[in-house]
Chains A and B, each alone.
Chain A
Amino acid sequence: MSFLGLIPRNVLTRKVRSSLTALAVAIAIMMVVAMGVLTYSLKQTAISVLEIGKADFTVAQKGVSDVLYSNLDEKEVAAVKSYPQVQETVGVLVAGVNFNGNPFFLELGIPPDELAPFGVQILQGRAYTTDATDEIILGFRTAEDLHKTVGDQVTIDTITYNIVGIYSVGNPFADAASMLPLSWVQGRQRLSGYVTLLFVKTKPGTDLGALQAQIQHDHPELACVQTASQFGVVDRNLGLISAADVGVSILALFMGAVGVMNTSLMSVFERTREFGILRAVGWSRGRIVIMVMGEALLIALAGAFIGTGLGFAAIQVIKSLPQVVGFFHPQYPASVFGQALGVAVGVAFFGAIYPAARAALLEPMEALRHE
């Protein structure tokens, strides 16, 4: 038996209590994992909207609660186009409609002559015409899901369209959407002359940062988005979700730490005599601290392992909810698991530091007299 081997022995000696504590930690970690994956995935989904076009950066209205509520009028679009560094722009009106069980099916309104600059590749059929009111092209993923092809019809939000083409943009989000003439979508949304996002392609050698700063300086109501970290400027909801994620992590840390502290303290009270014996045979206070902290860390790591599994299960449940079908595509970044591990270690540290100090500071004689 090694000193480190003593730690799991002590944990397993109190199986029920250790298991219940690990479960409490697991629930906390589950919240961290589920919320982390949810936040990250929603952010990626939202960001992928901005990445649909093959643009250098995207311009949207600043400070809206949701990026899809961004409205840019013709003057603003023209102003951005007028910068000499700008090679071309594509304005897109994005509308979310309830379709085929997906409450967030995207209709992208784009003029047909801007499809190619936007990076749209027509795989089958042709593009719609500028003034068409009954023509639509479907992303190939949508077409596959609906088992539709060119020449078929599709009814979206009570309107029946003829499918004239199947496209691919190379973006999973856009390839699972549809595209229609801009004027038609503007009319349907009563947003004549407006677009949601403006995708900007610049001339070679342009200093993107300087151009973005210039646009934002000249037009404070606009925000240029190029990276994920800039996304919060044009989507406050996502900022709120991210804040909620941080809040959940802090709550999980607190909840787990209280559970671990409760267990560690009870264990220290029960084992007072044991600590007295260990001190009497020459164990240092530091060794006692390491042992108690090690036991808490082991329980927390077991909780983290179980909690991660529960987090995956929770994500599967959330994924199947009708409210999120279509725009929640779970992604599991390493950072979320790093965050969960960090919370577990924090839970062990904050939960066990006081009990460990209490155990270490026991006077051997006082502890040996304990019944």
Chain B
Amino acid sequence: MSNGNGGSEGPAIQAIDVVKLYDNVTRALDGVNLTIACGEFVALMGPSGCGKSTLLHLLASLDITTSGRIIVNGRDLRSAGNDRFRRQEIGLVFQLHNLLPNLTAMENVQIPMFGTGTKHAQRLQRARELLAEMDLSDKEKATPPRLSGGERQRLAIARALANNPSIILADEPTGNLDSTAVDHLLALFRSIRDEHGVTILLATHDVHVAEAAGRIVYMRDGRIVESSQPEGERASKGK
């Protein structure tokens, strides 16, 4: 697996004075400024309703800002072709995994590859590789309802990686998992970042999960209030 980090020399993600209003009243984001370097693993932390998911949706071009700019891999999202951008640059992982229940694991992984010009045999090979990487080789023909919560989330990560994205945006991916599955998933995220240089932004309200990242960004009431390195990360750098 490889990625080109979007071919950009600058930061992977830049949010500049981003404001998001719902119904012109509810201020979900209130002047967010955030810069994430290529290959960084950042945890976005904060209580429910602080704007973590809204920010991720804007970064994924699933929604548009009320004001401010978002630049991903050097491209301003207001001018990016959204479908192609999501297909090529972004891998999305949701809390509820959002897999297609009638399709097998193999088929779910192939879904983002339609429309990319990838040939059938290549799609199959890529899906097999990803399932193997997620330790799901024996579940190729299983449909999501037959998988455990951890397996579904790993399958969702495999799908997110299908098109070699440069960025993975994960919205509370560990929310419904037990601690063993959480540890497994975090190890996977670290491995993806370390081995393939993928930029990861993971939203969570769980301190334990956030500490797996290289940097923690704290949000409250639609604003970024603090950015720090986890203790483990500081300790390893101090040695």
Q: How far is the CA of A282 from the CA of B106 in the complex (A)?
A: 18
Interface 9-mer from A1-9, A79-87, A305-313: A1-9
Within 8 A of A (CB), among B94-136: 94, 98-100, 102-103, 106-107, 110-112, 114-115, 120
Q: A288 to chain B: closest CB distance in Å?
A: 10
Known: A281-B92, A282-B112. A1 touches B84 (CB 8 A): no
Q: Are A279 and B111 in contact (CB under 8 A)?
A: no
A251 contacts the other chain (CB 8 A): no
A287 contacts the other chain (CB 8 A): yes
Known: A1-B110, A282-B86. A287 touches B102 (CB 8 A): no
Interface 9-mer from B56-64, B176-184, B200-208, B217-225: B56-64
Partner of B83, one of A3, A13, A283: A283
B159 contacts the other chain (CB 8 A): yes
**Chain A residue at smallest Cβ distance from B159:** A281
Q: Are B83 and A365 in contact (CB under 8 A)?
A: no
Known: A281-B87, A282-B83, A282-B112. A9 touches B102 (CB 8 A): yes
Partner of B100, one of A2, A277, A282: A277
Q: How far is the CA of A368 from the CA of B95 in the complex (A)?
A: 12
Most buried by B among A279, A280, A283: A280
Q: How far is the CA of A345 from the CA of B103 in the complex (A)?
A: 28
Question: Which residues of B have CB within 8 Å of A277?
Answer: 98-100
Q: A229 to chain B: closest CB distance in Å?
A: 49
Question: Which residues of A have CB within 8 Å of B94?
Answer: 368
Q: A92 to chain B: closest CB distance in Å?
A: 68
Q: Are B100 and A284 in contact (CB under 8 A)?
A: no
Known: A287-B115, A365-B63. A280 touches B107 (CB 8 A): no
A278 contacts the other chain (CB 8 A): yes
B88 contacts the other chain (CB 8 A): yes
Question: Which residues of A have CB within 8 Å of B98?
Answer: 273, 276-277, 280, 368
Within 8 A of A (CB), among B119-162: 120, 159
Within 8 A of B (CB), among A112-141: none
Q: Are A365 and B62 in contact (CB under 8 A)?
A: yes
A364 contacts the other chain (CB 8 A): yes
B166 contacts the other chain (CB 8 A): no
A88 contacts the other chain (CB 8 A): no
Q: Are A284 and B115 in contact (CB under 8 A)?
A: yes
Q: How far is the CA of A285 from the CA of B84 in the complex (A)?
A: 11
B164 contacts the other chain (CB 8 A): no
**Chain A residue at smallest Cβ distance from B99:** A277
Question: Which residues of A have CB within 8 Å of B92?
Answer: 280-281
B73 contacts the other chain (CB 8 A): no
Q: Are B107 and A281 in contact (CB under 8 A)?
A: no
**Chain A residue at smallest Cβ distance from B83:** A284
Question: Which residues of A have CB within 8 Å of B57?
Answer: 365
Question: Which residues of A have CB within 8 Å of B63?
Answer: 363, 365
A76 contacts the other chain (CB 8 A): no
Question: Which residues of A have CB within 8 Å of B199?
Answer: none
Partner of A274, one of B85, B88, B90, B100: B100
Q: Flag B47-63 by CB within 8 Å of A: 1 or 0 each.
A: 00000000001001011
Question: Which residues of B have CB within 8 Å of A282?
Answer: 83-88, 90, 112, 115, 163
Q: How far is the CA of A284 from the CA of B88 in the complex (A)?
A: 12
Question: Which residues of A have CB within 8 Å of B110?
Answer: 1
Q: Are B114 and A287 in contact (CB under 8 A)?
A: yes
Q: How far is the CA of A277 from the CA of B107 in the complex (A)?
A: 14
Question: Which residues of A have CB within 8 Å of B102?
Answer: 9-10, 13
Most buried by B among A3, A277, A284: A277
Question: Which residues of B have CB within 8 Å of A3?
Answer: 114-115
Question: Which residues of B have CB within 8 Å of A278?
Answer: 111
Q: Are A281 and B120 in contact (CB under 8 A)?
A: no
Q: How far is the CA of A9 from the CA of B108 in the complex (A)?
A: 13
Q: Are B62 and A281 in contact (CB under 8 A)?
A: no
**Chain B residue at smallest Cβ distance from A1:** B107
Q: B145 to chain A: closest CB distance in Å?
A: 13
Known: A13-B102, A368-B98. A281 touches B111 (CB 8 A): yes
Within 8 A of B (CB), among A238-279: 273-274, 276-279
Question: Which residues of A have CB within 8 Å of B103?
Answer: 1, 9
Q: A203 to chain B: closest CB distance in Å?
A: 70
Question: Which residues of A have CB within 8 Å of B90?
Answer: 282
Known: A274-B100, A365-B57. A283 touches B62 (CB 8 A): no
**Chain A residue at smallest Cβ distance from B91:** A281
Q: How far is the CA of A274 from the CA of B144 in the complex (A)?
A: 14
Most buried by B among A10, A282, A368: A282
Q: B18 to chain A: closest CB distance in Å?
A: 16
- Other than the known A1-B103, A282-B84, A282-B85, what 6 A-B pairs have Cβ atoms closer than 8 Å? A1-B106, A2-B120, A282-B90, A284-B115, A364-B62, A365-B57
Q: Residues on B close to A: CB < 8 A? A: 57, 60, 62-63, 83-88, 90, 92, 94, 98-100, 102-103, 106-107, 110-112, 114-115, 120, 159, 163
20 pairs across A/B with beta carbons < 8 Å?
A: A1-B103, A1-B110, A2-B120, A9-B102, A277-B98, A277-B100, A278-B111, A280-B60, A280-B98, A281-B111, A282-B85, A282-B86, A283-B114, A283-B115, A284-B115, A287-B114, A287-B115, A364-B62, A365-B57, A365-B62
Q: Residues on A close to B: CB < 8 A? A: 1-3, 9-10, 13, 273-274, 276-285, 287, 363-365, 368
